[in-house]
Chain A
C-alpha cells in the first residue's frame, strides 16, 4: 500500500506539472485581457499535431523533440497574434458572457479546421529514445515523466521571475492591472497586449508539443488536461501564475490519489474540490489584487 501511495504521489506531481503547462498560458491570457479563453485547449491540440508533423511517430533525438515543440509554440504564437488582432481585442466592452461565447466560437472554428486538416485518424508519438527509459528508485518512474516535471518547474520559474523582475514582465503587469493608466503614462498597451497574448498561445502550443508523447493523438487530445487546467486557473485565482502552479499540483495529486483510493469513480474528486473551493472562496486561493 505504501508503495502504491508513493507511486500515486509521484504520478500526481507529474500530472500536476502537465496540467500547469496547459494552465500557464490560460491564466496569463486571463490576467491581461480578462478573457477566459475556452479555445485554449484547441490551440493545445493543434500544437500537438504540429509537433507530430515535425517529428513523426518516433522522434530520433531529444533536441529534435524540443525543436518540434518550439515550432509548435511559434506556430501557435503566430496564430494567437492573429486571433488577438482579428477577434480578442475587439471584445473590449462586450459583456463578459459574450466574450466567453466568442472564445467558444474560436474553439469550434479550430475543431472544425483540425478535423478537415488532420482528419479523424489517431496517431501515436513516442518520447525520444533518451527519455524512453525508466528509473527504478523503489518505484518505477519514466524519464519522460521526470522531463515533464522539469519542464513544468522551469516554465514556472521563468514566468514568475520574468513577470516580477524583468522589465517587460513589469510592463505586462502594469497593463494587466490598469490598461487605461498604462496608456496614460505612455505604454504601448496594444503592442504589449499583442505580445503577451501571442506568448500565452505559444505556451498552449508548447504544452501540446511537450505532452504529445505517450498519448493517443486525436481531436480529443487534451480534454482531460484541459478541464483540470480550467479548474486550476479558477482555483488558483484567475490570472495568478503562482496560484495556477499550486492549484495544478493540488489537482494532480487529488486526481492521482482518486484513482488509487476510489478506483471505481475516477475523476470525481477534483470536481468536488473545485466546487468546494469556489463556494468557499469564489475568487480562488490566490486572488490577484484588484
Chain B
C-alpha cells in the first residue's frame, strides 16, 4: 500500500515535470491541446467530486463551466473595468452561487435518473437562454478574446503569449487540483464518502445528507466555473457549445475512463481522451467509435477505470512478491 503511494507520488512528479517542460518540447498546436486537457482534467475532477464523493450523477455540469467561461468572456469582450484575476474570481463565485441555487432546488427531490434528466434539462435551458441573449453574443458566442496582462503593482505579468498563458493554466490547475485533494482527504471528504456509500447510514451518524450533497454540488459548480473561466482566454472564443450536453459528457467520460474510485482517475482519463481525439483527428467518426468502445469496455469489464486497474494490478503484484518471499 505504501509502496503504491510512493509510486503514485513518483508518477505525479514525472507528470508535473513533463507538463512544465512541454513548451520546450512540443509545437504550439499540441501545446494548445495539452492546455485544454489540463482544463478538462480540472473540470472532470469537479464532476467527480459530486459523483464519487456525494453520489450525484449530474448530466448537465457544463452549465457551470459555461457560466465561468461566459463571465470572463463577457468581461474581456465588452471591456468591463474588472481586472482579470478579479474576473476569474467573480466567475468562480458566480458558478458557486448558481450551483447553490440550482442544487437547493434540484437536490430536494431528485436523485438517480431524475437528477440526470433534470440537470440535463436545466443545462439545455441555460444554453437556450444564453443563445437568446445579445450581451452574450446569441448563437455565435463571443470571439476574439484577448489574453490578459496582469498588473501586480510591482510588475506586470504578461500572459498574452500562448506559452505564458500555458504556465498560468498549469499553475491554476495544479492549485485547483491540490485544493480538491485537500478537501476530499479531510473530514468533509470522509463525510461525503459516507453519504455516497450509504446515505441512510450516514444520516444515522447525524450527518445532514442533503447539506453534504449541496456542499458537493456547490463546490463542483465553483471549480467547473473556474475551469471555464480559464478556458475562455485560452481558446479565445466562447460559444454555446461550452454549455452543450456534449461538453457535459466530457468529464463523465474522463472520469469513467480514468477511474471514478481514485482521485487522479479523472485526470488520467482527460489526458487519455485528448490523446484519442488527437490521434484520430483526421478520420471523422473514429474518435467517437474509439471513445465509445473504450468506455463500454470500461463500464463492463473494469468499472474502476484505468487507475483502478493499475491499482489492482499493483496489489496483485505486491501479493505475489509477498508470497514468493514467504516461500523463500
Contacts and interface: CB of A to CB of B under 8 A. Distances in A.
Interface in B256-304: 256, 284-293, 295-296, 299-300, 303
A153 B300 CA distance: 38
B113 A238 contact: yes
Contacts of B122: 271, 275
Given A87-B300, A104-B252, A272-B125, A120 B289 contact: no
Interface of B is mostly: helix
A90 B106 CA distance: 31
A53 interface: no
A113 interface: yes
Interface stretch (A11-19, A56-64, A163-171, A262-270): A262-270
B108 interface: yes
B12 interface: no
A268 B288 contact: no
Interface string B98-124: 000000011011101110111011101
A109 B129 contact: no
Given A105-B299, A271-B124, A111 B114 contact: no
A120 B284 contact: yes
A101 B256 contact: yes
Contact of B288 (A87, A94, A112, A274): A112
Contacts of A231: 117, 121
Given A96-B112, A104-B249, A111 B121 contact: no
Given A112-B289, A265-B132, A271-B124, A90 B300 contact: yes
Nearest to A97: B57
A188 interface: no
A114 B285 contact: yes
B129 A268 contact: yes
Contacts of A114: 285
Contacts of B116: 36, 97, 100
Contacts of B120: 230
B51 interface: yes
A159 B117 CA distance: 25
B202 interface: no
A100 B57 contact: yes
A182 to B, nearest CB: 23
Contacts of B291: 105, 108, 112
Contacts of B303: 94, 98
A264 B128 CA distance: 11
A94 to B, nearest CB: 7
A275 B299 contact: no
A187 interface: no
A58 B256 CA distance: 44
A279 B110 CA distance: 8
Nearest to A117: B285
A96 B288 CA distance: 23
A272 B124 CA distance: 11
A116 interface: yes
A257 to B, nearest CB: 16
Contacts of B289: 108-109, 112-113, 116
A102 B129 CA distance: 30
Contacts of B290: 112
A271 B128 contact: yes
Contact of A116 (B51, B113, B256, B284): B284
A107 interface: yes
Among B108, B285, B286, find the residue whose CB has the most chain A CB atoms closer than 10 A. B285
A113 B59 CA distance: 24
A113 B296 contact: no
A106 B113 contact: no
Contact of B124 (A105, A112, A227): A227
Given A112-B289, A278-B118, A264 B296 contact: no
A87 B51 CA distance: 23
A243 to B, nearest CB: 14
Nearest to B122: A275
Contact of B109 (A97, A115, A282): A282
A234 interface: yes
Given A36-B116, A98-B303, A100-B116, A271 B121 contact: yes
Interface in A272-288: 272, 274-275, 278-279, 282
A279 B117 CA distance: 12
Interface in A224-282: 227, 230-231, 234, 238, 264-268, 271-272, 274-275, 278-279, 282
A225 B51 CA distance: 29
A97 B51 contact: yes
Among B114, B249, B293, B299, find the residue whose CB has the most chain A CB atoms closer than 10 A. B299
A114 B121 CA distance: 26
Given A36-B117, A106-B292, 19 more contacts: A36-B116, A87-B296, A97-B51, A99-B299, A100-B113, A101-B299, A105-B293, A106-B296, A107-B292, A108-B288, A109-B289, A109-B296, A111-B292, A112-B290, A115-B284, A227-B124, A234-B117, A275-B125, A279-B110
Interface of A: 36, 87, 90-91, 94, 96-102, 104-116, 120, 227, 230-231, 234, 238, 264-268, 271-272, 274-275, 278-279, 282
Nearest first, the 3 A-B pairs at minimum CB distance are A115-B285, A112-B288, A108-B292
27 contacts: A36-B113, A87-B296, A90-B300, A94-B303, A97-B116, A98-B256, A100-B59, A100-B116, A101-B252, A101-B299, A102-B295, A102-B296, A104-B295, A107-B292, A108-B289, A112-B287, A112-B292, A113-B289, A116-B289, A264-B132, A265-B128, A268-B128, A271-B124, A271-B128, A272-B125, A275-B121, A279-B109
